[in-house]
Structure formats: structure tokens, C-alpha cells
A = this chain, B = another copy of it.
Amino acid sequence: MNADVLLESQRVRGGIRAGRITGTSRGMAPGFVQCNLAVLPKAYAFDFLLYCQRNQRACPVLEVTDPGDPEPRKLAPGADLRTDCARYSVFIDGARQDDRTDVRDLWRDDLVSFLIGSGITFDDALERAGVPTDRNRWVLRTDRPTEPAGPFKGDLIVTMRWLTPQQAITAVQVSARFPFNHGAPIHIGDPAGIGADLSAPMFGGPVPTIPDGLTAAFWACGVTPQAAAENAKLPLFITHAAAHSFITDLPADRLMTS
């Protein structure tokens, strides 16, 4: 590859860093893995990594930076995690602050950054396999507890999609090829089976009655570790704002990492 030619992921991150791109990352740089970002002090890093290990369907960790290092050297060499998400959410002692487009002024030498694979990653593969991804998609709370670690705990959060039975079968097969981006569904069929709360979706708007002939499929969702970190009321916790994920240079069709 010509070193002068930018990848689409690099081009988009450059636009975000320069303030030219300010919106959602959904649909940007298709074919590249997108990640949820979680930044927290080193003192909490072991427990958070352990939480992710114990709940790896929801929290597939793709990279952890060394303390103080804002560069994800493996997934996006040259990128800066302090500026290359279009929008950040910031929590101080558990209290949500105003969103920011840059967190350089909050940066500390003891901050560890976690990049966690996002389900957005396999949208492209689903589309190519004939499974629509742009509608009938919600993020829901469930009553299934995650396995805690230190101060991190909470119920599993899932992405629900409504699919035809044939699409659901295809979606299981396609998403299973991405074990480090949530993989196959954790449930299929009746939302009550996992206590999915249809009355108050976290994203996706109100949930209508499920039409006859469609099947609900549920994937473990990367909002799970984000919620666990918010609830832990850390002195400082920085994350991407919803739908403003970090875009890596890793091709989504690369099946396995490291």
C-alpha cells in the first residue's frame, strides 16, 4: 500500500480531529471496526479489564493502552484518543458533565484507554448477507445480571433486531464470525426470556408491537461496560458519546485479532 494514500478510517479521523466531521460515526468508513471507548484511572484498570473478561460477549476488549498513552498503537497507529472521537461524554465522581469534542485538558498520566468492539462492526457484513440493519433496531436493558468485578456491575444491555426467520438464521451465522465483536446472539424469540425492557429503550425510540412473522434477536451490547463504569462513580470516566464511536484501521472482515 502506498504510504501516502490514507485509509478511509484515517481520513475520517482526520476530519473529526480538525472539527470538520462532528456527527455520528454510524455509516462512516464502512468496513472498518468501530470501537466503544472507555478511559479511566489506572487504579481501576484491573477491575475493569476483569469485568470485561468476565462478560466478554458484551465487552470484547480489542486494545488497552499503556497508562497515559493516548495512541491506540495496534488498532489505529498515529490516532489520538483525546481528539479523534467526534463527541465525548465525561463523568466526574459519577456526575455527568457537558459533552466535549476534545478531552486533552482532562488528560492525565494515569489514564488507561480501553477500546471495545462495537456491534456496528458487523452491520456491513449483515447488509451484504441480505439482513437489513438500518431499522427495527433498539438498545434495551435486561434483568440478566452481569458478573461483577470490583466496583463494576449491572444488568446486561442488549441490541435487539427484528428479523424474518430466514434473516435471523443468516444473522446468527454471520455475526458468529465476529466473536470479538459480540459474536452470535445471546437470545432469540421472546423478549421476556431475558427480561428485556421494551417499555424504556435506551436507543432506537419507542418499541411498537412486534409484527407477525418477525423474530426478535438479541446481541450483547457494548453499552453494558459503559453503564457499569458510569455506575461505579469513578473520580474520572471518559467515554465516546452515544453513536460517536472511535473508528479504527482494522478491517471488519479480519476475523480474529492478535
User: 1/0 contact trace for A160-180 toward B, CB 8 Å?
Assistant: 000000000000000010011
Which single member of B45, B46, B53, B179 contacts A179 (CB below 8 Å)? Answer: B179
Residue pair B258, A54 in contact (C-beta under 8 Å)? yes
Q: Which of A45, A54, A256, A258 has the most CB of B within 10 A?
A: A258
Sorting the interface of chain A by its residue count into under 10, 10 to 19, 20 to 34 or 35 or more gives 20 to 34
Contacts of A49 in B (CB 8 A): 46, 49-50, 53
The complex places the Cα of A37 from the Cα of B53 at a distance, in Å, of 16
Residue pair B64, A50 in contact (C-beta under 8 Å)? yes
Residue pair A258, B180 in contact (C-beta under 8 Å)? no
Tell me how far the C-beta of A166 lies from the nearest C-beta in chain B, rounded to whole angstroms: 22
The complex places the Cα of A176 from the Cα of B177 at a distance, in Å, of 9
Enumerate A224-258 residues with CB–CB distance to B below 8 Å. Answer: 255-258
Q: A45-B46, A46-B46, A56-B257 are in contact. List 11 more A-B contacts (CB 8 A).
A: A49-B53, A50-B64, A53-B53, A53-B61, A54-B64, A54-B74, A56-B258, A147-B258, A179-B183, A183-B256, A184-B256
Q: Supply 23 A–B pairs (Cβ within 8 Å), ascending by A.
A: A45-B46, A46-B46, A46-B49, A49-B49, A49-B53, A50-B64, A53-B53, A53-B61, A53-B64, A54-B74, A56-B180, A56-B257, A56-B258, A57-B257, A57-B258, A147-B258, A176-B255, A179-B179, A179-B180, A179-B183, A179-B256, A184-B255, A184-B256
